[in-house]
């Protein structure tokens, strides 16, 4: 009887230690605090599977689970959001005219004839003349049937 209770206690102790280690590792893994670099001409778009090569139209979604998803255009990101409804940690867009990322709060969009997907959005600084805010860009994508209405 005593041998059985000792092995039960040992099993409980191992389980508690394992749980503590797993909990500590998960807690120490912080979410990204900015955009992650894209490996241009090697990584593929999460939505359309095209190789991401245009430095001025890419976008990135970071989920609360820590997933970092790259897209070749804002439109592909919008479609992904409409299909999957991930819990969002952050969204970033490549600036259309300079080597920089814009977070979702800094970004607005202009129409572009040279978007890789041909649907015309390029990210610029919020407040740029003739630009539209992110919400309006999403509404236009919904109206075109590209993003589900629930987003």
Listed in sequence order, the residues at least 6 apart from 127 whose beta carbon sits closer than 8 Å to its beta carbon are 108
CA distances from 150 to 63, 118, 139 (A): 18, 24, 11
User: With DSSP H G I counted as helix, E B as strand and the rest as coil, what are the percentages for the chain, rounded to 5?
Assistant: 30, 25, 45
Binned at pLDDT 50, 70 and 90, residue 148 comes out as very low
Residue 115: the pLDDT is 60
Residue 151: the pLDDT is 37
Tokens in use for 9?
């206690």
- pLDDT, average across residues 79-95: 94
- Return the bridge partners of 44, or none: 51
Tokens in use for 21?
């280690």
Residue 142: the pLDDT is 76
Residue 150: the pLDDT is 41
User: What are the pLDDT digits (tens) for 27-79?
Assistant: 556 888 999 999 999 999 999 999 999 999 999 999 999 999 999 999 999 99
CA distance 132 to 141: 13
């Amino acid at each position: 009887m005593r041998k059985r209770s000792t092995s039960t206690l040992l099993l409980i102790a191992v389980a508690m230690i394992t749980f503590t280690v797993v909990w500590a590792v998960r807690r120490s893994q912080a979410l990204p605090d900015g955009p992650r670099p894209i490996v241009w001409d090697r990584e593929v778009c999460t939505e359309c599977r095209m190789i991401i090569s245009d430095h001025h139209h890419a976008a990135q979604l970071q989920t609360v689970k820590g997933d970092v998803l790259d897209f070749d255009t804002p439109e592909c990101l919008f479609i992904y959001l409409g299909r999957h409804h991930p819990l969002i940690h952050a969204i970033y867009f490549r600036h259309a005219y300079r080597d920089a990322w814009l977070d979702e709060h800094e970004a607005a969009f202009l129409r572009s004839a040279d978007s890789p997907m041909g649907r015309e959005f390029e990210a610029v600084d919020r407040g740029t003349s003739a630009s539209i805010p992110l919400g309006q860009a999403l509404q236009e994508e919904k109206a075109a049937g590209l993003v589900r209405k629930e987003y």
